[in-house]
Structure formats: C-alpha cells, structure tokens
C-alpha cells in the first residue's frame, strides 16, 4: 500500500510577503505529500525563486503578482511521472497527466471565477478529458458551493446558478463525486468565512468513483493566514497487482484483414499438424486425436495468436497515442497557439479516433447491453468498466468476531474458507428409501423419454443443426469459458 495526502489551500497571495510564503511552504512540507495552491499571485519571472524555496518540483499556472495564479507542489515522499500538462493562461487552473504509485490519472487544481461563467467549466472539462484518463482528482477553491442548504450559512441569494449547474453536469459526465459530502452526508462545515457572518464550503475535492474505496480521510482544517481553511484528502493506493481476469475476444478484430489472414493460417496449420486422413470435405478429415481434443486445441492456438496480435496492436496504438499527446501538449503550450489551431484540431481528431477504437473492447468487458450514441459513448463505457472492476475488489472485510482485515492475502483466505464451509457436505435428510421412491419409474412426477426421443437426443450433431444454432445465438455474448464471442463463431468458424 502507498499513502498520499493532498492538501488544498487558498493562500490569498504569496508574492509580496516572503515571510508568509516561507511559512506556508513550511506548513505544507509538514502536513502534505502534494499541495494544490490557489490565488498564489505569482508571475512567470518568479517561478524559479519559488521552486528553489520549496526545494522540489512545482507546476505553475501563473498570472500576475496581484491576482489569481495556481500551483501544484510535490514533495519527495512518493514517486511520480508526468506525461503531459495543460495550464490556463489566466492562472485559473493547471492539469497534469500523471502516474502515481503505478496509477495513471489526471489531477487538476482549480481557482473558479467568482462570476456566473459556465463556459469556464466547459473548457476545464474539455481539457481534463483530452488526457483520456478515467481516474481524476480535481481540487481547489471553486467559488461555488455544492449544495446551498448544506454548504452555506447566512447567504441571502444563490450565486452563479449557471456555473453551478455546469459543474454538476461535469461531475455526471466524467464520473466525479464530492468526496467530503460522500463521507459526511449530514455534516455542516465551512472552508470560507466572509463579511456579514457569511460562511460556505467553497474549497473541496471532486474525485472519480474508482478512488472512493481508497480514500481514508477528507477533512477541513483550521484557517491560517487566510480567510479560507485548508482542505485535505488522503488516498491509500492499492498496490496489489490486478489479476488476469476473464479473457474476452474483441469483435473489432473481425474487421482486421491481417488478423483474419493470420487466423485462417492458424486453422490450416492446426489441421495439417493433427490430420492422418485428408479429404476435401473437412467433415471427413480424420485426426490423430479425438475430435473434441482437436477442437479444444484449435481454440487454444487461435486464442494464443489472438492475444499475441492484440498485444502488438495495443503497444502500437499506445505509442502512436503518446506521440500525438506529446505533439498536442507542445502546441497547447506554444506562445503562438492561435496560429496552430488547425493543427491542434487535426491532432485532437486523430486522438479521438484512436481512443474511440478502445470503446468496442470496453463494451464487451463491461457486459453492457446497450450503447449511447455520440460523444458520451466512450466515457460511459470506460467509466462502467472501471466501476465493474471496483465492485470486484474487496478493500476491507469484517469477520464474524468484528475484526476488520485489509490485507489482500488474508481476505482471499477468508473467502476460500467461507465457500469451503458453504459447500462442504452436510448430513443429508434424505434416506435411501426416499431416494429410491423419487427415482422410481412409477413416480408420476418424472416423465420418461420415449425410445425415439432418446435416439434423437443421443445422436450425432449435423452440420446444419450447428449452423442453425449459430444463427439463432444472440450477439454480444461469449458462450462457454473460452472467451470467444458469438460473432466470432458466426463470422469465422462458420465459414470453415
């Protein structure tokens, strides 16, 4: 397990007061592994001095020494790798595509405008989505309460209603939750205090649903040298490796000409390897092994070739996607960004095409029965697949004696013991007389097959019967344990 504590502080300007800046930096080092600072009042020329004072990496979203500005501060207490970043030119947000404890995610610090500007959150959402990660952490001073009844005090009016509505839409569309309210649904606490005894919870974290089981605490601290209280979030990352899971054939491969050719060659090679009597009619070919064993061997060989080919294609797509992301990141940070709009649009379309190709596999793995058309399709299925995985992971188990265990090895041992006890042989209440009466030919509740029915059921299967069965099978299913889908059998094996 790896623990990460993130702090978020509206510091109300650190540019003009060097003592205050060093004081805030000191408290951040004592309390957090990563810090989201908002309202920093830092300009680009000062960044190298601030970074030297902090002593480790800082990602800046600077503006002027009198307003706005955000920053993400890192300590050396954990390992991370940054793949890309997007910084708002007006100093209102900074977004990172980052890997922490081997978890790829998007993190963002936000300083929301104190105006009713829903377009700001539309742009923020677009820039978050452009990185393509389904795991997201966004924190900052939003200048918007989540719920006016629970998160404000002595407010006469509901400010910025259109912006608040857009934030709620963003939460729904990219699968974010207000983690503090999830943990404390009835608790009233505030992070900002203003004139006329007004108070509000304006500083908070929104996180994607896959982080919910990993969050051990979310708190509002005591205000220090600001009218805002710091907020914090602690995540206990699960460093246990994901199991292999259940393999499912990706139907998109059925439209890949190279894969089709490779599979036909695989089938021919398998037949040549095991045949002892050849025939133009494949039904009359005799093999050195039983037909059943040959069938299982053939599927095993096709599956191996499929996994190998899919892995190669995935690496190829990943490399192409990383190159496009790098190009897009460089263009977005270019000073002449307005002159690069056409090129940015072209690369964004290429990225979208690549990412949407992943959705077909996500649909199968998510076991979804329907698909939403349009822009939200990819997000929906990626989030659904993510939630399916979350639901399968037991983070904590409470035993009969009240003891709670979190160690994965102990949890697996308890699961094994539970099912061993559940399915162990119990003393039967049925004696031999009951059994004999039940299976007696004279039992009126048991129907006996006629000789003709028995012959029909026990006879050999005909090719026409198999083809008819294939035609009547529903698409989107993977019958049996081998992972091959109905579409695979219909479009591939039915032709051989």
pLDDT per residue as tens digits for the range 248-304: 888 888 888 999 999 999 999 999 999 888 777 777 788 899 988 999 999 999 999
Place of tokens 């890309």: 84
The correct answer on CATH 3.60.10.10 for the domain covering 2-237 is: yes
Query: What are the sequence ranges of the domains in the chain?
Result: 2-237, 251-392, 426-495
Contacts of 239 (CB under 8 A, 6+ apart): 1, 2, 101, 102
pLDDT at 52 over 90: yes
Question: Cα(72)–Cα(57) distance, rounded to whole angstroms?
Answer: 8
CA neighbor of 136 nearest in space, from 226, 212, 41: 212
Which of 160-174, 225-239, 452-466 has the lowest average pLDDT?
A: 452-466
How far the first Cα of the chain sits from its last, in Å, is 50
Binned at pLDDT 50, 70 and 90, residue 97 comes out as very high
Question: Cα(307)–Cα(262) distance, rounded to whole angstroms?
Answer: 12
Question: Cα(330)–Cα(68) distance, rounded to whole angstroms?
Answer: 24
Place of tokens 């089709």: 260
More confidently predicted of 337 and 83: 83
More confidently predicted of 274 and 371: 274
Task: Reduce the secondary structure of 81-94 to three states and give it as a string.
Answer: EEEEEEECCCCCEE
Backbone angles phi, psi at 269, to 5 degrees: -65, -40
Question: Which is it for strands 2-10 and 34-38: parallel, antiparallel or unpaired?
Answer: parallel
CA neighbor of 119 nearest in space, from 131, 130, 127, 109: 127
Q: At what angle do helices 341-356 and 376-392 cross, to 10 degrees?
A: 50
pLDDT at 351 over 60: yes
CA neighbor of 32 nearest in space, from 178, 180, 228, 232: 232
**What is the per-residue pLDDT for 466?**
82
pLDDT per residue as tens digits for the range 106-155: 999 999 999 999 999 999 999 999 998 989 999 999 999 999 999 999 99
Task: Report whether 63 contacts 43 (CB < 8 A).
Answer: yes
């Amino acid at each position: 397990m790896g623990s990460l504590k993130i702090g978020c502080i509206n510091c109300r300007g650190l540019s003009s007061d060097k003592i205050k800046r060093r004081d805030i930096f000191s408290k951040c080092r004592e309390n957090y592994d990563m810090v989201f600072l908002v309202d920093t009042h830092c300009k680009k020329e000062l960044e190298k001095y601030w970074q030297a004072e902090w002593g480790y990496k800082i990602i800046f979203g600077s503006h002027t020494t009198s307003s706005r500005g955000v920053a993400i501060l890192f300590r050396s207490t954990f390992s991370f790798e940054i793949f890309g970043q997007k910084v708002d030119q007006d100093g209102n947000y900074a977004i990172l595509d980052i890997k922490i404890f081997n978890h790829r995610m998007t993190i963002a610090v936000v300083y929301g405008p104190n105006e009713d500007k829903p377009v700001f959150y539309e742009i923020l959402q677009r820039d978050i989505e452009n990185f393509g990660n389904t795991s997201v952490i966004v924190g900052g001073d939003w200048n918007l309460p989540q719920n006016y009844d629970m998160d404000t005090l002595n407010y006469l009016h509901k400010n910025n209603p259109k912006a608040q509505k857009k934030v709620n839409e963003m939460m729904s569309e990219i699968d974010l939750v207000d983690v503090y309210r999830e943990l404390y649904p009835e608790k009233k606490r505030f992070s900002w205090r203003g004139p006329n005894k007004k108070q509000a919870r304006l500083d908070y974290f929104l996180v994607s649903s896959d982080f919910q089981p990993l969050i051990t605490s979310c708190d509002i601290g005591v205000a220090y040298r600001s009218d805002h209280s710091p907020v914090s979030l602690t995540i206990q990352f699960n460093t246990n490796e994901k199991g292999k899971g259940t393999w499912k054939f990706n139907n998109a491969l059925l439209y890949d000409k190279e894969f089709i050719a490779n599979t036909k060659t695989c089938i021919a090679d398998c037949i040549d390897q095991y045949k002892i009597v050849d025939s133009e009619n494949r039904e009359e070919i005799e093999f050195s092994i039983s037909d059943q064993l040959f069938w299982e061997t053939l599927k095993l060989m096709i599956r191996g070739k499929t996994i190998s080919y899919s892995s190669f294609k995935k690496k190829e797509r990943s490399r192409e996607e990383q190159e496009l992301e790098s190009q897009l990141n460089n263009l977005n940070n270019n000073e002449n960004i307005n002159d690069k709009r056409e090129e940015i649009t072209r690369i964004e379309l290429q990225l979208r095409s690549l990412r949407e190709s992943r959705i077909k596999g996500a649909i199968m793995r998510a076991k979804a029965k329907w698909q939403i058309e349009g822009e939200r399709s990819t997000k929906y299925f990626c989030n659904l697949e993510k939630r399916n995985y979350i639901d399968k992971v037991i983070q904590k188990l409470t035993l009969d004696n009240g003891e709670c265990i979190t160690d994965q090895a102990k949890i697996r041992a308890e699961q094994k013991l539970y099912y061993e006890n559940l399915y162990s042989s119990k003393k039967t209440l049925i004696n031999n007389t009951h059994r004999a009466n039940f299976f007696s030919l004279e039992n009126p509740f048991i129907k006996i097959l006629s000789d003709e029915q028995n012959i029909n059921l026990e006879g050999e299967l005909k090719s026409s019967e198999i083809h008819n069965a294939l035609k009547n099978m529903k698409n989107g299913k993977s019958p049996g344990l081998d992972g091959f889908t109905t579409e695979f059998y219909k479009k591939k094996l039915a032709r051989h």
